[in-house]
Amino acid sequence: MVLSGRRRSPGLSAHPTTLWAVPVGGLGGVARHVLDVATVGIPGWRLIVLCPEGDLAHRLRAAGAAVVTGPFGPEAGLVRSVRTLLKHVAAIRPNVLHSHLAYADVVAAVARVLTGISLATTEHGIAGDEKLYHRTRRRARVRALVHSWRLRRTDLTIAVSRATRQAMLEKWRPPVDPVIIPNGVEATRRPQPRPPRSSPRVLSLSRLSPEKQLPELLHAFAELQRRDPGARLTVAGEGPEREAAEAMTKALGLEHVVSFPGFLDASQAMSAADVVIQLSAWENCSYTLLDAVAAGLGVVATPVGGNPEILPEVCLARATDSRAVAAAIVRQVGNEARPALPEGWPSRKEMTARIAAAYGTLL
């Protein structure tokens, strides 16, 4: 079965079209990226998003973005996902197919083989430590071989940080050098300084999963509590580690000063916080950190992945050093120590302009 990916359906748009293949229907870091790009638009391009029916599709429609849905992603399975993608490629005839997240990357590579369509991918989630996402070394090797196979069939590869690009080169050896396009965030002016509280309100805002290192977070907050009994910690989010983290909170005697409210709106949660903390084992280009910096909050994170590309050294501490983490939180309470976005960090419009420029190499 051979379809053309170089033509557009007549009358749809004078611009070339890109079809974004996203295998998740919920809201998370990649969904945030998709929503930002769809809201701002890729200059000179028509963007259509393929994703499963769900919250992401609802938000895209509310934003006036073009979206098509169907059985696509891990829950649909490989065969149905390939069929869904091929159906929409045949109907839309995009100039560029752009995949996000590993499952869509593989499905899109199959579509590339069958159609010859120009294929782009953005890498959001590679980790420097292969054991972080794979339980065994053998499974990690198999995944690396799959990624190497699909990257040989990819015409444009985008990495969201220098650390992401380096990890891709070391682990997957892509034949085309990845282009670095960080996640864009608005920083038109420095937020107004916040009056310091007598004791800090600390916020963790992430999926409650093993790579977020919640035990280290709780031990560090226990150290902060010994220094300042008025400190409070909110651990927002859901995930498989919630029950264990709540049990550990009780074991440390912190149940009256640590709360687990579940999912919270990020902007509202940050408006009530002084310091955002994220002690991840790896991050590529964290929207949580970017939003916290843009909001004028104090920030403490681990010196891993793309974090040092966002934050100065004063904001970084090893997760296993509870005293260093507590000291970093104390430093971040004062406005004078809080970080600003690095010079030249892209806005959302600048990010999409860089995507458009990268697409231009494919036409």
Check pLDDT > 90 for residue 193: no
Please report the pLDDT score of residue 1 as a whole number: 35
Check pLDDT > 60 for residue 188: no
Between CA 283 and CA 309 the distance in angstroms is: 11
CB burial string 37-58: b at 16+ within 10 A, e below: bbebebeebbbbbbbbeeebbe
Query: Which token pair is 352?
Result: 């999409």
Check pLDDT > 70 for residue 143: yes
Look up the CATH number of domain 201-337. Answer: 3.40.50.2000
Please report the pLDDT score of residue 230 as a whole number: 95
Q: Does 201-337 match 17-184+346-360 at the fold level? A: yes
Please report the pLDDT score of residue 233 as a whole number: 98
Q: Name which residue leads in pLDDT, 51 or 9.
A: 51
Q: What is the pLDDT of residues 209-263, one digit of tens each?
A: 999 999 999 999 999 999 999 999 999 999 999 999 999 999 999 999 999 999 9
Look up the CATH number of domain 17-184+346-360. Answer: 3.40.50.2000
For the chain, give every domain's residue range. Answer: 17-184+346-360, 201-337
Percentage of residues of the chain with pLDDT beyond 90: 81
Please report the pLDDT score of residue 363 as a whole number: 85
